[in-house]
A and B are shown apart, each in its own frame.
Chain A
Amino acid sequence: MSGSKRKLGTAAGVVVLGFVATGCGGSDVSAGAESDAVNLNRCFGADCGLRAQSLSGEDVLARPCGEVEGPLADPVVFEDIEGGLMVMAAVEGAEGSVWALQIERGLSRGEGPLNLVHFAADGSRLATLEVGTETDHTVLQAALAVDSTGLVTIGIYSSYAPNADATLTEELELSTFDSDLVAVGAPAKFRGMSAPQLLSGPNGSIWLAGNAAANASHGVISRVSQGEPDWIQTAVPASGTATGVSGLAVADDGNAAVLAGLTGKWSGTGPDLMKVGISTFDVTGKPLWTLKLPTDYTPGWVPALGGSAQGDLVVVGAVGENGQQLLARRVSRDGELGWAYTIEGSGPGVDVRRDSGRAFVAAFNRVAVIDAEGTACRQFSVAIDEASKAAAEPWRPDGEYLLAVGSGLVRFRVPE
């Protein structure tokens, strides 16, 4: 009995000591801290469980594009810096100015800085800002968008791991600058997207689409305003094993379309084939419809997407053996298949003029120009010679121009 009393006393003592040690007032107990980066792997502000309407359509017989009519006009070579240059992204700004993200100097050593450069319409450099990330990070992707207010937003994806056993640190950082390259607000960090597609939309918002790295099972699209996501939609059909999200288009009403490679198809005997799909979302991120295109595309070539202000789309992808032929087809904003053209060449790329709806399809050293209705497909060569450079006319507000990027930055005027 006395032993029991002793135990009871000990227990009471422990309780009293607990009270004394912790007090009755309590304190703040921190569970941790939010990440400093937006998590693009998680649905936010949108209905991600909603199933989009699945569309299908009859394939349209593709017509061959016309012969090459001549070179593009008025070539302007933008100011370069000796020592190497690689343009990662470029976009037209106001009054013929051009914004570019390019790696300059030391490219041959693989360690050149990443610069944001603002060019004047005549190709002269207005301002340069080094925007490279931490020195030990590897810059893998960069994207650029200019909104209606003249602000430019850049997205840089970088990754870092000190060794093979360490967890990979990857990050997409969006930064906004005014026309004088003065930063507007703090950079916004995102995780869960490795190949960003960046477009400006109405009301100064930015649309962001892409895939997470390492076999992501779906894509993601988000609308970002002032560095904070309005919504994040993760129900974007995309295969992360090969070509994931490769194109983004946003109409003036805020409807967005995402182009993505779907699961590849391998017959076991013939060439590998790739299917491509389009998924669309309204301005609130609600899924509208999805469409799996009937074409078998050639793997290894990344399909491209362009869109008009009305939301009509043009998809360009490589077809045929070795992907040496391009197929450009129109898809209406309602998901109906329109005209289709085949273009000899490789390296699919497309730019759709927002107002006229004309599509400029890049095919290695040529450009195919298709009007909005698809009544004609004209081809022009991309050639720069001293004579044409000397005869180039200044930028015109009513002209339609095309930026050619690669080891340099060149602007051409597309004939009417």
Chain B
Amino acid sequence: MRRSLQQPPRFGAAVVKTALLGALLCSTTGVRAEQREDAKRYQLRWVREGGAESCVSGAALERLLQQVLGAKATATGGAVVLDGVASAAAEPLRYTMRLTVRDAGTGEVMGERELSTAEPKCSALTPALLLVLAMSVDPDAGKAGLPAAVSEELRRGREEDVDVWPATDKAGTPLAGAPDAPRAQRTSPGPLSSRRPESDAARNGVSATARSAASATARSAASAPARSGASMDDGDRARDHEQGFVRDDPRVFGALALSLGVFPSLASGAELGARVPLRRGWALSFSVLGWFPQIVQLPASPYLQDDGVQLAAGQLGAALCRPLLGTRVQLGVCGGLGAGVRWVSALALGSRDNPTRPFYGPTLGVDATYRVASSWFLSGGVTAQAFVPRDRFTYVDHLGQVRPWFEPSLFSGRAWLGVGAFL
């Protein structure tokens, strides 16, 4: 399936052609104002292939480019024809955009460019796409970054998970120029505003490689939204992508867990944690896990004060994690250490020692992360853990005999489901 917005080229206009070539080859040479006005005339052809339907639509791209350049695409004529195709990319990437700049008169290829991203949302490429296209028409366009209204619209579109924007309202008024009041009150910083260096990189890249067909994959990957708080910079990520590592984003998460072997019967608990990416695809995960108190029934006896004793536990964990495959649904493994304590409230006993006992042990688990949106995810997994020391919990009955009531197994397993947010 193809969706396209095609505007036939206008033939002729040698002056415009000359100006465009001059602008592309030497962006710093002076060009007269009237020549510039002519040079800003362009045609736009935009195609989204199957699998890339979530990329920016042709109507939206035309409107946004008009805001950046201050000139509307023409159906015919102009200096250049901007030809773009968005398509799905092979793993680990998600989307690729191939851009070609042609002379409107001769059809000669003046420059080629390819943008790609591993981001789950194609809209991550939209800012770079706009800059590349705008600078192909006017080398001075976007020197100071994208116009604020465009940036705001792009930011809003990403926050609201909108990939295909409406072009205009029914009256034909551009929607992006004047954001409505409630949306304008959003205070969280837009992705572009915190990514000025990346925008610059993209802009410089266009200037330097406008006539080359070299792949811009690495730079495009670097232009993916940066996430604050990460221990690896964008260069690290780019290198990881180049080397085939699956990226692991910094995140916080909470989960509910069911465990066997921690308590005498199935135990439930809650976990909070954070994961920090390291180099070469590794990540470090920290968590605090608390098991909800459980009543352990003691053998029926008329000498008891209550039905049983209460057992609870909590532990801190640290693990090295490595995503193995997938982007939107990502599978990975984690291995590390857990250390915690079990504590007992001997409700049923006449004299209560209420002991607290530490435990330690290695952990090994597999997990899956499903990126529901760019900012949050669902996750689940199973983890096996060994417990030492091998304690035996006991009590003394009314005859003075020592009776065991719980002997933790050496290995325990837990399954968990959670939700989290990317940082």
Contact = CB atoms under 8 A, between A and B. Distances in A.
B313 to A, nearest CB: 13
B302 A32 contact: no
A26 B391 contact: yes
A26 B360 contact: no
Given A22-B358, A36-B303, A31 B390 contact: no
A25 B388 CA distance: 7
A243 to B, nearest CB: 26
B193 interface: no
B109 interface: no
Interface in B153-210: none
A44 B350 CA distance: 16
A24 interface: yes
Contacts of B397: 33-34
Given A26-B388, A27-B391, A32 B318 contact: no
Nearest to A23: B389
A408 B388 CA distance: 69
A229 B394 CA distance: 24
20 contacts: A22-B388, A26-B388, A28-B402, A29-B344, A29-B391, A29-B392, A31-B393, A32-B346, A32-B350, A33-B395, A33-B396, A33-B397, A34-B304, A35-B398, A36-B398, A39-B305, A42-B302, A45-B300, A45-B302, A229-B302
Interface stretch (A11-19, A105-113, A364-372): A11-19
Given A23-B389, A29-B392, A29-B393, 15 more contacts: A15-B360, A24-B388, A24-B389, A29-B355, A29-B391, A30-B396, A31-B309, A34-B301, A34-B349, A34-B395, A35-B350, A39-B303, A39-B304, A45-B302, A229-B302
Given A27-B391, A31-B394, A33-B395, A18 B353 contact: no
B306 interface: yes
Nearest to B345: A31
B309 to A, nearest CB: 5
Contacts of A116: none
Interface in A237-269: none
A25 B352 contact: no
Interface string B384-411: 0000111111111110001011000000
Interface in B302-322: 302-306, 309, 318
B354 interface: yes
B349 A19 contact: no
A34 B305 CA distance: 8
A336 interface: no
B304 A42 contact: yes
A228 interface: yes
Nearest to A22: B389
B143 interface: no
Contact of B350 (A23, A30, A36, A45): A36
A90 interface: no
A38 B352 CA distance: 17
Interface of B: 300-306, 309, 318, 337, 339, 344, 346, 349-355, 357-358, 360, 388-398, 402, 404-405
Contacts of A35: 303-305, 349-351, 398
Interface string A354-386: 000000000000000000000000000000000
Contacts of B318: 11
A228 to B, nearest CB: 7
A210 B306 CA distance: 20
Nearest to A222: B302
Contact of B355 (A26, A31, A39): A31
A19 B387 CA distance: 11
Interface in A186-244: 228-229, 232
Pick from A27, A32, A35, A229 the residue with the most CB of B within 10 Å.
A32
A28 B395 contact: no
Contacts of A45: 300, 302
A31 B349 contact: yes
A238 B55 CA distance: 78
A35 B300 CA distance: 13
B389 A15 contact: no
B303 A31 contact: no
Contacts of A39: 302-305
B389 to A, nearest CB: 4
Contacts of B358: 18, 22
Contacts of B389: 22-27
A37 interface: yes
Contacts of A42: 302, 304-306
Contacts of A38: 302-303
Contacts of B337: 15
Nearest to A35: B350
B349 A33 contact: yes
A210 to B, nearest CB: 15
Nearest to B298: A34
Contact of B339 (A18, A24, A30): A18
Contact of A34 (B339, B344, B355, B398): B398
A308 B360 CA distance: 66
Contacts of B355: 29-31
A39 B300 CA distance: 12
Contacts of B391: 26-29
A31 B388 contact: no
Contacts of B349: 31-35
Contacts of A23: 388-389
B189 to A, nearest CB: 28
A39 B309 CA distance: 16
A31 B395 contact: yes
A31 B354 contact: yes
Nearest to B356: A29
Contact of A30 (B302, B305, B394): B394
Of all A-B residue pairs in the complex, the 9 with the closest CB atoms, nearest first, are A35-B350, A26-B389, A26-B390, A32-B349, A33-B396, A26-B391, A32-B346, A32-B352, A31-B346
Pick from A18, A27, A33, A45 the residue with the most CB of B within 10 Å.
A33
A34 B353 contact: no
Given A35-B349, A36-B350, A29 B394 contact: yes
A28 B388 contact: no
B51 to A, nearest CB: 41
Contact of B357 (A29, A33, A229): A29
Nearest to B342: A29
